[in-house]
């Protein structure tokens, strides 16, 4: 197929190279679309969004260009709409078969990838776009950061420099939360994390009330569970996710985004004396940059290499980004 390359065709190995590019076995479960091919998938069905609505949307999503929304995220919202419609139909036929009254169960979309790769921005774009489709107007958004252990507990476990690693999350609690969501429980609450406080907020919760779609973004959503030694079975977080998207970019590019965000926060959020990182607003820019680079290389990059990147192939869709967060290619699972 012209312009469409199986990711496995390039090299007979399933190793990840240092830049996080995809290599694989000769057979690849993914169909690879160039940016242009992906953008064309939008053309098949007219979109519900009018140009003036797109303008409004780019207002909500600040830094993202209208071109990026049109060429990447509109085709994606069309694909997701088809998946949601199919899942809703499947759910209603099985309820009919069982002679049960339908309870509403949210379709769960997961967004995975490194720290600073743009998970929350992608999730916000998708929420805005998906909420405009008439068959699933209620879209909620949350992050798994709330399920991190509070700093005091991380200190106790000696994990303060492993924040974001699989062991820094209360995975059992996250699994209970997702189990309740997928069981159609009317109100399910989750803890809340604050980047400003750099900690979980004690006593604060968000409540999810049976939306049509729940978008959940986090570093750990594709993580395999630890296998128990006693023969019992354990669920994976991804067992509760209907469609998972992995946001991918080279290590060096993500490092630049992490540093740029840190330096920008120095002149915004960190200026507030209540901010956990306030001291970095007052020191010299070079010193602040060195601190950010340390945090990136010693914690977030290690986590990406050791835990996050190895889960990439568990996603249904991989979006590969280049400079300026521009999506270069989309890899969609065939099976
Ligand atoms: N599509 C995009 N276009 C332009 N800038 C973007 C885009 N996506 C993300 N960014 C910028 O990149 C930085 C990281 O994005 P974001 O905060 O969404 O990442 P994240 O993966 O959710 O990070 P974390 O895991 O730390 O919460 C931010 O400064 C954001 O403004
Ligand atoms: C909270 C997480 C783990 C994920 O959002 C991340 O933003 C983080 O705090 N990482 C630890 C190292 C750092 O401060 O960047």
Distances (CA, A) of 221 to 21, 83, 175, 249, 314: 20, 19, 10, 18, 10
> Radius of gyration of the chain from Cα atoms?
20
Q: What is the per-residue pLDDT for 131?
A: 87
Can you give the pLDDT at residue 196? 95
299 Cα nearest atom in ligand 2? 12
Mean pLDDT, 10 residues at a time, the chain of 335 residues: 36 36 67 94 62 61 78 92 91 87 87 96 90 84 98 98 98 96 95 97 96 96 87 90 98 97 92 93 94 98 98 97 96 91
DSSP 219: T
**7-333, CATH topology level:** Rossmann fold (3.40.50)
For the whole model, what pTM was predicted?
0.89
Question: Does the annotation list 115 as a binding residue?
Answer: yes
The gap between the terminal CA atoms of the chain, to the nearest Å, is 18
Where exactly are the structural domains of the chain? 7-333
Which residue in 204, 205, 199, 202 sits closest to 145, CA to CA? 199
3-state secondary structure of 183: coil
Cα–Cα dist 74/226, whole Å = 37
Measured from the Cα of 193, ligand 2's closest atom is: 1
pLDDT of residue 133: 78
Centroid of ligand 2 to alpha carbon of 35 (angstroms): 30
What is the ipTM, given to two decimal places?
Answer: 0.95
Give the whole-angstrom CA distance, residue 308 versus residue 161. Answer: 16
Paired with 140 in beta bridges are 214
With 0-12 / 13-18 / 19 or more C-beta atoms within 10 angstroms meaning exposed / middle / buried, residue 150 is: middle
113 among the known binding-site residues? yes
Q: Which residue lies with its CA nearest to atom 14 of ligand 1?
A: 116
Report the separation in Å between the CA atom of 147 and the middle of ligand 2, taken as the mean of its atom positions: 13
**Most ligand 1 atoms within 8 A of CB, residue of 116, 125, 328 to mutate:** 116
pLDDT at 23: 54
How far, in Å, from the CA of 318 to the mean position of ligand 2?
22
């Amino acid at each position: 197929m012209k312009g469409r390359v199986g990711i496995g065709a390039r090299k007979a190995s399933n190793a990840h190279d240092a830049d996080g590019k995809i290599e694989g076995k000769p057979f690849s479960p993914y169909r690879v679309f160039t940016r242009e091919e992906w953008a064309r998938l939008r053309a098949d069905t007219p979109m519900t969004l009018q140009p003036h609505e797109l303008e409004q949307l780019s207002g909500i999503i600040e830094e993202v260009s209208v071109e990026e929304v049109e060429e990447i995220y509109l085709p994606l919202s069309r694909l997701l709409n088809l998946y949601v419609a199919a899942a809703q139909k499947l759910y209603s036929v099985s309820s009919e078969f069982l002679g049960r009254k339908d309870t509403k169960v949210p379709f769960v979309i997961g967004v995975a990838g490194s720290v600073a790769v743009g998970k929350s921005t992608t999730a916000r774009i998708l929420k805005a776009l998906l909420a405009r489709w008439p068959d699933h107007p209620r879209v909620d958004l949350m992050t798994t950061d709330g399920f991190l252990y509070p700093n005091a507990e991380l200190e106790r476990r000696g994990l303060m420099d492993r924040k974001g690693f699989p062991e820094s999350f209360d995975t059992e609690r996250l699994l209970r939360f997702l189990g309740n969501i997928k069981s159609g429980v009317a109100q399910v609450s989750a803890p809340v994390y604050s980047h400003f406080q750099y900690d979980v907020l004690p006593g604060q919760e968000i409540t999810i009330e049976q939306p049509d779609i729940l978008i959940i973004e986090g570093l750990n959503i594709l993580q395999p569970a630890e296998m128990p030694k006693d023969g019992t079975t354990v669920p994976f977080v991804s067992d509760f996710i209907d469609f998972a998207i992995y946001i991918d970019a080279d290590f060096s590019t993500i490092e630049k985004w992490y540093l740029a965000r840190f330096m920008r926060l120095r002149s915004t959020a960190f200026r507030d004396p209540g901010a956990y990182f306030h001291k970095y607003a007052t020191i010299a820019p070079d010193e602040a940059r060195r601190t950010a680079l340390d945090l990136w290389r010693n914690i977030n990059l290690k986590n990406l290499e050791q835990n996050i990147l190895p889960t990439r192939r568990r996603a249904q869709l991989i979006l590969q980004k280049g400079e300026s967060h521009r999506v270069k290619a989309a890899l969609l699972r065939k099976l």
